[in-house]
Structure 1
Amino acid sequence: MKTYSKRIKYLKTLIKENSYSVDNAISLLKQIGNAKFIESVEAHVALNIDPKYANQQLRTSLILPNGTGKNINLAVFTEPDYVAEALNFGANIAGSDDLIEEISAGKINFDLLITTPQLMPKLAKLGRILGPKGLMPSPKSGTVTQNIKEAIKEFKKGKLEYRADKTGIVHLSFGKMQFSESELKENLLALYNSLEKNKPIGVKGKYFKSFYICTTMSPSLKLELSSFKA
């Protein structure tokens, strides 16, 4: 049986409804997100998909209008002659075969890895390391590209990659508690629109099963899906 701390038990008493509109949910989160650190604001979206089928998989990226509030460590795998250029563009880490050696040794000090299509074959052998961590570059997510400079700029601005896990649920941080309610709403609407736009072609029937938001340390609030289009 799951037990809750006194704080969580108290916060649960503030949640009076079974579901909330987007506006009311964000307003309530701003009240109950009172941990002693700046909490992230998260979305957990259950979709009616089965990712074991190729036409029901979801992996893509979006640019949040107000960013994520996080500083990401971004790595670029490139040719030796372009390492300095990638660092100059804003990458935190850039390398060639030396970066492959570091990753092979388990030294992964980045949140995102970008490369070009021509170099993807060299990364193939690292799939067993990068894949489970969600760090393998992909054209769908914008991390395999010819325009490294633009990719670095976008991801530093707030572009992020997301995917549905094996149970069909998308877990995503879309801001921080210091964001205003309007900034959080804009980011949340961008996520909803991205999910709609990238609906897998194999989906049958209702696409969204449930949509919850919460802070790092708060109970979750169920959203009324109709309020996204209100």
Structure 2
Amino acid sequence: MQRGKKYKALKEKVDSTKFFNIDQAVELAKSTSYTKFDGTLEIATKVNYKSLQNIRGTISLPHGTGKKVRVLVFCKGDKQNDAKAAGAEFVGDMDLIEKVAGGWTDFDACVATPDMMKDVGKLGPILGRKGLMPKPKAGTVTTDVTKAVNELKSGRIEYRPDKGGVVHLGVGKVSFDNAKLVENIRTVVQTLMRDKPSDAKGDYLKTFSVSPTMGVGVKVDVKELVNTSI
């Protein structure tokens, strides 16, 4: 299979027994990307904590993700003008709720004012499944729709671990300068360590790797990364 052959050849470029510093890892991972489009550079890090449901938050990447974020805002009155002025693609109240209730989810992020949440909450089975449900902790249930839209547009992302305790995040496009990708990654590490539960014991981040959308994963020296980022 062609993809398999290509991947195998690229895999030989990366020593899978070695742990690289973040600058080397980014350079190596980018060099193994073989998509025809501008792929995303992704990180995966395993957190060491028993109550995974308590690990979640938001990260504002200084250089964004490189991805166009389509924002929907549920709000009424003057707030609709504010949301539109901030650049939200879809703005409305009950009309939009009915549209989403019908199964439409052609957007990437969702914001709601508190007075809309009684009705937005009924969309849980649709929005929750796609990780789009507005949440106060994530800053997406708010009266300041301008701020929320601006932050989402400029590269604020949500994080939460999967069932295995691994946080997966896109941290920019492969075409980004290495320095910008490294700065975004360090911001991820800083935020995860800042949000670390007070009762977490031992090394909080156990493993860390960098990989392109299609390409080879590169293992990172996680202790050095943490020590040089915080």
TM-score, normalising length: structure 1: 0.91
| C-alpha distance in 2 between matches for 1:167 and 1:119 | 34
| C-alpha distance in 2 between matches for 1:133 and 1:201 | 30
Alignment of 1:159-198 (within 5 A): 159-198=156-195
Shift of 1:114: 0.5
Q: Which residue of 1 aligns with 2:143?
A: 146
Alignment of 1:1-230 (within 5 A): 5-16=4-15, 17-51=17-51, 57-228=54-225, 229-230=227-228
Task: Quote the sequence identity (%).
Answer: 38
Contact 1:51 1:168 in 2 (8 A): no
Contact 1:50 1:166 in 2 (8 A): no
Shift of 1:57: 1.6
| C-alpha distance in 1 between matches for 2:135 and 2:178 | 33
Contact 1:51 1:165 in 2 (8 A): no
1:62 maps to a residue whose letter is I
| C-alpha distance in 2 between matches for 1:202 and 1:120 | 33
Contact 2:93 2:116 in 1 (8 A): no
Q: How many residues in Structure 1 have an aligned counterpart in Structure 2?
A: 225
Q: CA RMSD in A?
A: 1.8
Shift of 1:212: 1.1
Long gaps (5+) in structure 1: none
1:49 maps to a residue whose letter is Y
Choose 109-118 or 188-197, whichever is displaced more. 109-118
| C-alpha distance in 2 between matches for 1:107 and 1:202 | 41
Shift of 1:168: 1.7
SS in 2 for 1:131: helix
Deviation sequence 1:88-114 (CA, Å, 0-9, x none): 221010110111111111011111001
Deviation sequence 1:101-152 (CA, Å, 0-9, x none): 1111101111100112232222221112111211111121111122110111
